[in-house]
Structure 1
Amino acid sequence: MTLYGMIFSICFFLIVSFFFSTHTVDYANETETSEKMSVPIKTASSSTDKKPKPKETESPELTAFYHKIEQTMTATAKNFNGDVGITYVDLTTGKQISVNGTKEFYSASTIKVPLAMMVADKVQAGGLKWDDQLTFNEKEDYEDGTGIIINDIQPTYSLRTLQEYNIIYSDNIAKNMLYDTFGGDVEAKKALYAHFFQKETDWDDAKLTSEDAAKILKILYEEKSTNQEYQKIYEYMKNTVFHERMDTPTTSGKVAHKIGSYAGFLHDIGILETEHPFILTVFTNGQTDAGIPFISTITDQLWTIQNNEYPK
């Protein structure tokens, strides 16, 4: 064999050995095995991440707790001589429980809360300023009932003053002047119902359900930490002059609420500050003043359960 032949044979042998070496197969197997193992590891990790949430929100203890909340609401509602709608929302878990939660009631002054939120949104968007002066129009704005403006009507009021009076004093004239910033009460209610509920209403008989009101308060509660004006509305609700209904000796100083009253329609919607805060909205239509003690009773009952029996 010539020198060139020997060199060719050696090169050919080295090339064949490289391509058919067992190391090549081992590398392929190692990569394949690694990929296969990574799948169950990720799946197990993902499963572990998801398990604690159902345990926290669906544990037997929490299920039993919510069952007691529902039983209490149902039993108390049966004792009311008239129509009632109640909604409870646990703000720790988001759990909502209702009794006649979709039954409609004349909203009365509970509508002043979403109105105030819409005004705050409009200021934030640049459509209004808090130091804007709004002119009182007797024909459009005057209304008997609750409030302090009626005792000493001035030609103009700042938007900030009207916003405060609307909630703290449940001032009807302040409410009507705030409606004016949307083009009047009809246009304001159209905007309000479309924005918060994606629905229309009978403008002369604006209605809400207890679940509607709970939805409003949940937005207020969840956004107030990042929305200074929502926080102010919340504080106005805590400092209201109406110490009744949800503001009981038990809950005093620990409830942000807004009452509504019109004939037999007596309501209250509030956020109660227990260790695990909750929303409660109660709408009633019954005999004169019957709704007031009823709301206080259901408030104290649910407060006691939430405060003393919430699962650890």
Structure 2
Amino acid sequence: MKHKKNGTYNKDYKQNDRSYRKIVIILISTIMISLSVSLLCFSKQVDTQGEENVEEHSNLNEEAEKESIRKKEEDIEISMQKINKISKKVSEIVGDKKESYGIFYYDINSGLQYTLNSDVGFHAASTIKVPIAMMIADKLDNNEITKDTKIKYEESDNCDGAGELQGRVSKGDEFPVIDLLKYMIEDSDNIATSMLKKSIGSVSSYIYNLTEISMIGESNFITPRQSGILLKKIYEKAEEDNNYRDIINLMLKTNTHDRLDKKIPKNMVAHKIGDYENYVNDIGVIYSERPYILCIYTKDVMEEGRENIADISKVIYDITLDKL
């Protein structure tokens, strides 16, 4: 009997053990299924959120692009309005003598331009001293000369006109380059210009190389656009080149104020005038809140031209700064 009981017990135990295992397997399977379902739901949720994020990012990019296009269109519209204003005001000032004026205006920040006969050649007169100063600055940059390099005056350097050296220089006198630059730009001294030109090459070739605009066959002629390109070069290089910065500083100190800077603040106008026979000119960089370049050349209008240059300069200054 005892042995029989043990046999029955062992049999019952084995049955219970199998049942327990089944229950454990079922529980584990249930847990695994639950986990799989949870992970699947989470994955779908993440995918959905990812899709939403991508869609939201795409919408933001689209809105930003639309805003950028709208801003560009608005800037173009404002630029056209300014050009139209300038054109109208200039027409009122010069009247029926448009052919006597050459104008190149360039807003440095926006690239906005207004031109009138800008590719027509005018006698450069003393505005040619600007590229000469640039050529000297290049030689200083290349260590071909120094500011203290002495240049000797020769009789062939003698020129009529105003200037510091007129009537007080003799054959054999020597002057450092930096002093001659000052006389040439501030006082528009022709003798100083002749002395400096001896140490440089062809001015017309230099202008052509920088502007890619040729004035072949015209002695000392230049276009308003050419002068504008040269001034833009000076403006850009003066940011990091001391020799070009010297040119700007000298142009800020010129002694004549009857044109570009007659009716606007003088301390912001770096310019160079030029007079020759029936040509009256002025070119410069105006360091206003919105810096710009303005080159105005005239022919056959003389004193009226001087006053009109001042009036055109004032109109462009006001329109550039949204004062008109």
Is the aligned partner of 1:218 residue 2:235? Answer: no
Deviation, 1:207, is 1.1
Is the aligned partner of 1:240 residue 2:288? Answer: no
Is the aligned partner of 1:145 residue 2:146? Answer: no
| 2:88 corresponds to | 71
Is the aligned partner of 1:188 residue 2:203? Answer: yes
- The structure-2 alpha-carbon separation of the partners of 1:49 and 1:118, relative to structure 1 and needing over 3 Å to count, comes to farther
User: Is the contact between residue 101 and residue 117 of structure 2 (CA under 8 Å) also seen in structure 1?
Assistant: yes
- The structure-2 alpha-carbon separation of the partners of 1:49 and 1:292, relative to structure 1 and needing over 3 Å to count, comes to same
Aligned mates of 2:61, 2:262 — CA distance in 1? 51
Is the aligned partner of 1:105 residue 2:134? Answer: no
Aligned mates of 1:249, 1:163 — CA distance in 2? 27
Is the aligned partner of 1:173 residue 2:191? Answer: yes
- The structure-2 alpha-carbon separation of the partners of 1:105 and 1:50, relative to structure 1 and needing over 3 Å to count, comes to same
Deviation, 1:133, is 0.6
- One-letter identity of the residue aligned with 1:192: I
| 1:197 corresponds to | 211
Deviation, 1:63, is 2.8
| 2:151 corresponds to | 134
Structure 2 residue matching 1:257: 3-state secondary structure = strand
| 1:115 corresponds to | 132
User: Is the contact between residue 211 and residue 230 of structure 2 (CA under 8 Å) also seen in structure 1?
Assistant: no
Cα RMSD (Å): 3.1
Deviation, 1:71, is 1.9
Aligned mates of 1:272, 1:231 — CA distance in 2? 14
Structure 2 residue matching 1:149: 3-state secondary structure = coil
Is the aligned partner of 1:281 residue 2:299? Answer: no
User: Is the contact between residue 147 and residue 177 of structure 2 (CA under 8 Å) also seen in structure 1?
Assistant: yes
Gaps of 5+ in 1: 1-25
Structure 2 residue matching 1:193: 3-state secondary structure = helix
| 1:162 corresponds to | 180
Aligned mates of 1:243, 1:117 — CA distance in 2? 23
Query: Deviations for 1:217-256, whole angstroms, at most 9, x for unmatched residues?
Result: 1111222111111111111111011121112143322211
Aligned mates of 1:95, 1:234 — CA distance in 2? 22
- The structure-2 alpha-carbon separation of the partners of 1:152 and 1:249, relative to structure 1 and needing over 3 Å to count, comes to same
Structure 1 residue matching 2:100: 3-state secondary structure = strand
- The structure-2 alpha-carbon separation of the partners of 1:278 and 1:204, relative to structure 1 and needing over 3 Å to count, comes to closer
User: Is the contact between residue 127 and residue 281 of structure 2 (CA under 8 Å) also seen in structure 1?
Assistant: yes
Deviation, 1:288, is 3.8
Aligned mates of 1:48, 1:229 — CA distance in 2? 45
Deviation, 1:77, is 3.0
Structure 1 residue matching 2:303: 3-state secondary structure = coil
Gaps of 5+ in 2: 1-42
User: Is the contact between residue 189 and residue 203 of structure 1 (CA under 8 Å) also seen in structure 2?
Assistant: no
Aligned mates of 1:230, 1:53 — CA distance in 2? 35
Aligned mates of 1:79, 1:98 — CA distance in 2? 17
User: Is the contact between residue 101 and residue 209 of structure 1 (CA under 8 Å) also seen in structure 2?
Assistant: yes
Deviation, 1:177, is 1.3
Deviation, 1:47, is 3.9
Query: Deviations for 1:176-201, whole angstroms, at most 9, x for unmatched residues?
Result: 11111125xxx33333333x223444
TM-score, normalised to structure 1's length? 0.78
User: Is the contact between residue 115 and residue 192 of structure 1 (CA under 8 Å) also seen in structure 2?
Assistant: no
| 2:221 corresponds to | 207
Aligned mates of 1:236, 1:49 — CA distance in 2? 44
Please, which moves more after superposition, 49-58 or 157-166? 49-58
- The structure-2 alpha-carbon separation of the partners of 1:158 and 1:203, relative to structure 1 and needing over 3 Å to count, comes to farther
Q: Percent identity?
A: 27
Deviation, 1:278, is 1.8
- The structure-2 alpha-carbon separation of the partners of 1:83 and 1:222, relative to structure 1 and needing over 3 Å to count, comes to same
- The structure-2 alpha-carbon separation of the partners of 1:223 and 1:74, relative to structure 1 and needing over 3 Å to count, comes to farther
- The structure-2 alpha-carbon separation of the partners of 1:48 and 1:175, relative to structure 1 and needing over 3 Å to count, comes to farther
User: Is the contact between residue 110 and residue 269 of structure 1 (CA under 8 Å) also seen in structure 2?
Assistant: yes
TM-score, normalised to structure 2's length? 0.75
Query: Deviations for 1:54-104, whole angstroms, at most 9, x for unmatched residues?
Result: 2563244x4322321222223323354861111111122111110111111
Structure ID, larger Rg: 2
- The structure-2 alpha-carbon separation of the partners of 1:309 and 1:204, relative to structure 1 and needing over 3 Å to count, comes to closer
Query: Deviations for 1:94-150, whole angstroms, at most 9, x for unmatched residues?
Result: 1111011111101111111111011101110121111111111212x1110121112
- The structure-2 alpha-carbon separation of the partners of 1:66 and 1:199, relative to structure 1 and needing over 3 Å to count, comes to closer
